[in-house]
Amino acid sequence: MNVLLIGAGGREHALAWALSASPLLTKLFCAPGNPGIAEVAQCIPIDPADHDVIITFCRDERIELVVIGPEAPLVAGLGDALGEAGIKYFGPTRAAAQLEGSKGFTKDLCRTANIPTAAYGRFMDPEAAKTYLASQGLPIVVKADGLAAGKGVIIATTREEAEAAVEACLSGVFGTAGNEIVIEEFLEGEEASFFALCDGVTALPLASAQDHKRAGDGDTGPNTGGMGAYSPAPIVTPEMADRVMREIIIPTVKAMAARGMPFKGVLFAGLMISASGPKLIEFNVRFGDPETQVLMMRLKSDLLAALLATVDGVLSNFDLRWSDDAALTVVMAANGYPGKPMKGTEIKGLDAARATPDVEIFHAGTRRDGERLVADGGRVLDVTGRGRNVAEARAAAYAAIAKIDWPGGFYRNDIGWRALQRSKA
Ligand code: AMP
Ligand code: GLY
């Protein structure tokens, strides 16, 4: 079958790489794609925001499945438009994508369905928000309700900071995403990423993963989209995964179905594993980036078959097999990230770096400039290693990085440190 993948990042390169290995695949297209994706798919310069052009392309090329990678087209209703045109797509409808598109929506759903999460309030009026703040402890978390490209979360350690965050959000610093805010309790614990395919009724968990959100070694510096990831994540024991399914994922799938907006696609729970158990920090309605890069390295089942089973509502008959190997990815980011990244610097040495079977390099933000490969984004490369355990996977990833000649970029030196510390304990 012909498949169209939507997106242009490292997550989409990893998905394209896995899809391209499917015996069910005839031809893979990607809109808009990137130079790494171009090695396994035909990239087409279409803007995913242009629903009519996407639909016309699907008809012309007899696309039988559209896989939507990023959240923005999902929240903008690309799935609904495809569905109305009779084209199959992997991902939630716009209504179901509110689980990521509105933090307030998700918090209310958690309250109704009794899903463990931080205590919270929703506000549109700064004075009401400040009155609530006065009744709460510190630190406290202020969040823009809508999509803010990962920037709309402020962890305030003083009352003044919290009030400034309220003012900033509600006065439009995050655009319309901040018209409404959520103020919530600060959760203590260790974060983990949990993914489940959902077909509206049944949920099938993926292997565990953990990412590193901060830009600097030792989990210091500003928050980012993720500077590295590994799988499996030792903190998500089989017992913990069962609890997450029972206490968070399954109640959400049921609550969404009961509201007439069944969730189909991949549900990504950002978790805080606290002393009292797993708590939901937030939902995303798409695969994680860079978690997908390590998950695809470990997935033994056919990804395309799994996505089709999700879309067709037959996940209850489906099973996923994972390699016993571990995988670890290190993000190489352009200098300046997560602020304004420097673009256009040349990257060399990738062929040598990926010459071993235990390494894959996924492109996240690159561009061809004639013969040269140059940086074209914040997160630029995901250098991914595989091994019998996290330590070996990490050694493979860093050995590959040592062969990459890119003075314009930086990376963290300690990806996987929590897993390694646990395995030594
Ligand atoms: P979010 O975009 O909601 O995932 O938030 C981004 C990051 O902020 C999370 O990955 C956490 O590190 C942190 N964070 C968000 N909400 C909380 C909370 N209630 N308690 C502690 N940390 C949080
Ligand atoms: N790595 C976290 C995310 O994809 O949002």
Residue 176 per-residue DSSP state:
G
pLDDT at residue 342 in the model:
97
In the structure encoding, which two tokens stand for residue 304, read together?
């395309």
Contact 350, 374 (CB under 8 A): no
Pocket test for ligand 2, best of 211, 213, 283 (most atoms within 8 A of CB): 211
- Amino acid 415: pLDDT: 98
Cis peptide preceding 23, ω within 30 of 0: no
CA of 281 to the centre of ligand 1 (A): 6
State which of 107, 110, 153 you would mutate to test the pocket of ligand 1, scoring each by most atoms of that ligand within 8 A of its C-beta.
153
Scan for tokens 């499945």, then name that residue: 65
CA dist 203 and 257 (Å) reads 12
45 burial level (CB within 10 Å; 0-12, 13-18, 19+)? exposed
226 CB under 6 A from ligand 2?
yes
Q: Whose CA is nearest to atom 4 of ligand 2?
A: 288
User: Using a 6 Å cutoff on CB, does residue 284 contact ligand 2?
Assistant: yes
Cα gap 279→244, rounded to integer Å: 8
H, E, C per residue of 245-311: HHHHHHHHHHHHHHCCCCCEEEEEEEEEEECCEEEEEEEECCCCCCHHHHHHHHECCCHHHHHHHHH
Q: Are 31 and 78 in contact (CB under 8 A)?
A: no
pLDDT at 425: 59
CA of 248 to the centre of ligand 1 (A): 17
**Distance (Å, whole) CA 36 – CA 143:** 34
**Which of 219, 224, 283, 289 should be mutated for ligand 2, with most atoms under 8 A from CB?**
289
Instruction: Please name which ligand lies nearest the alpha carbon of 69.
Output: 2
pLDDT of residue 215: 96
Nearest CA to ligand 2 atom 3: 288
Residue 226 alpha carbon to ligand 2 centre in Å: 6
Mutate to test the pocket of ligand 1, among 223, 281, 282, 289 (most ligand atoms within 8 A of CB): 281
Span from the CA of 271 to the centroid of ligand 1 (angstroms): 9
Ligand whose nearest atom lies closest to the CA of 193: 2
Q: How far apart are CA 425 and CA 410, in angstroms?
A: 30
Judge contact between 231 and 298, C-beta under 8 A: yes
Smallest-distance ligand from the CA of 211: 2
Residue 282 CB neighbours (<10 A): 18
C-alpha distances in Å from residue 22, one per residue of 16, 28, 76: 10, 10, 29
Q: Cα separations (Å) of 338 from 23, 97, 215, 234, 380? A: 39, 25, 7, 28, 12
Helix (H) or strand (E) holding 14: helix 10-19
How large is the angle between the packed helices 103-113 and 250-258, nearest 10 degrees? Answer: 100
Task: Using the structure block, give the residue that is written with the tokens 């929590």.
Answer: 418
- Which ligand is in closest contact with the Cα of 71? 2
CA of 401 to the centre of ligand 1 (A): 29
Encoded amino acid at 258, one letter: A
Question: Of ligand 2's atoms, which has the minimum distance to the CA of residue 290?
Answer: 1
Is the CB of residue 354 below 6 angstroms from any atom belonging to ligand 1?
Answer: no
The per-residue pLDDT for 146 is: 87
Which residue numbers in the chain have pLDDT < 50?
none
Nearest CA owner, ligand 1 atom 9: 281
Q: Which atom of ligand 2 is nearest to the CA of 11?
A: 4
Does 199 contact ligand 1 (Cβ within 6 A)? no
Whether the CB of 292 sits within 6 Å of ligand 2: no
Tell me if 177 CB under 6 Å of ligand 1: no
Report the alpha-carbon distance of residue 290 to residue 328 in Å, rounded. 10
Q: Is residue 12 lining ligand 2, measured as CB closer than 6 Å? A: no
| 39 vs 21: CA distance, rounded Å | 13
**Protein residue closest via CA to atom 5 of ligand 2:** 288
